Amino acid sequence: MAIPDDSDNILKKLRPGRIILPMVIGLGVVAYMIYSEYEPGTFDGMSFTWNVLLFMFLAVLMMVTRDVGYMLRIKILTGKEINWKKSFNIIMLWEFTSAITPTAIGGTSIAIYFVYKEGVSVGKSTAVVMATSFLDELYFILMFPLIFLIISGADIFSIGADDGVATGSYINKYFWFAVIGYSLKFLWVCLMCYALFINPKAVKNLLLFVFRFKLIRRWRKQAEKAGDDMIITSGELKNKSLLFWFKAFASTFFSWSARYWVVNFMLIALIFGNPDTIMQGLYTFYEHILIFTRQLVMWILMIVMPTPGGSGFAEYIFKDYMGEFIRVQGFEGMMAFLWRIITYYPYLIIGAIVIPRWVKKITAKI
């Protein structure tokens, strides 16, 4: 197996100008939300205090923690073959790719190229990327059912009801999106487990059998490549120690968990920014876990959205899923905007800066 050395084509696919579409979609939705929700005096009671600054800083710190965890995981999976700078390049390029493509597609297909071009062998690059995908999805399928031991299912899904009333039933308009998203992740992890640790050749044959049907035959070559990738990855990872997997999953756990604490800290900052909300007190432990859980569900929902990085849809569901915790009326759109500023737009900007320099560096080596 070989990775095509086509830097010009990669640059064409990842040209910085592609940040325009997701930004226009996302900012357009946010602008509409703020316009439709705004009432005179909404911002009059707001004040910028040291507590506001502290908790907004902690929100940003959570994203930094998430990226450092990702970088550490890359180092673990490559056996520390790459340094921190190369890890940073890979993660930022990967995040940029995910930000400009639909969430279901993400940046995985090109990530192998990124890792390979930073000096890792073809086989190990494939193994690293597929292992990261496996660990990410494993986090979701484990955390989601565990959350139900603490949080009521009705509290998670009884939002945004069509009649405007939170009912607590499972006919919520987002419930079935979550079911579909979780089912896809669960099936993918099961397939990956069998392919990586038991019988990768059988999985490849299964893919080739499925993709022989006329409607999806056009993707048979991609399916064959995916099967080859699984065989290579299995050879690289099958005999890794339990300690190796523990460290890799631990970095995955802290990375994703840190990301989901961003909104918690943002909401606390909003409380300290308004005297009226301070009087109501801070959130309870149960409310914090519920806020965390709803972000987990939001991410599962985003995998079925066709827009780049979930732009537009992410901002919209943020209002529905977090609206009851935003104590300043009419501030939902602004909070959605701040959330995306911290968790999404930085990757568009950093990626647009890193990609031209990175491609110039790797092409100079050819």
The reported pLDDT for the residue numbered 7 is 52
Residue 8 — very low, low, confident or very high, per pLDDT cuts 50/70/90?
low
Residue 204, pLDDT above cutoff 60: yes
List the domain boundaries for the chain. 7-121+153-173+252-364
* Position 97 pLDDT exceeds 60: yes
Q: Are 57 and 74 in contact (CB under 8 A)?
A: no
166-200: per-residue pLDDT in tens? 444 455 666 777 777 788 888 888 888 888 888 88
Q: Can you tell me the distance from the alpha carbon of 91 to that of 3, in angstroms, rounded to the nearest whole number?
A: 19
- 75-84, 103-112, 196-205: least confident range: 103-112
Rounded to the nearest 10 degrees, the angle between the axes of helix 242-260 and helix 285-302 is 100
- pLDDT reported for residue 169: 47
Task: Name the band, by pLDDT with cuts 50, 70 and 90, for residue 365.
Answer: low
pTM: 0.83
Summarize pLDDT for 47-84 with one digit per residue, the tens.
778 888 999 999 999 999 999 999 999 999 988 888 99
Average pLDDT, the chain: 80
- Is residue 162's pLDDT more than 50? no
Q: Which of 295, 267, 294, 263 is nearest to 281 (CA)?
A: 267
Per-residue confidence band for 294, with pLDDT thresholds at 50, 70 and 90:
confident
Alpha-carbon span 128 to 130, nearest angstrom: 6
Percent of the chain clearing pLDDT 90 (strictly above): 16
pLDDT band, very low/low/confident/very high, at 264 (cuts 50, 70, 90): very high
Segment 240-264 shows an average pLDDT of 92
Q: Are 131 and 189 in contact (CB under 8 A)?
A: no
Average pLDDT over residues 220-228: 77
Please name which of 267, 199, 256, 239 lies closest in space to residue 73, comparing C-alpha atoms.
256
Q: Is the pLDDT of residue 246 over 90?
A: yes
Rounded to 10°, the helix 175-197/200-210 angle is: 130
Tell whether the model's pLDDT for residue 30 goes beyond 90.
Answer: no
The percentage of the chain sitting over the pLDDT mark of 70, rounded to a whole number, equals 82
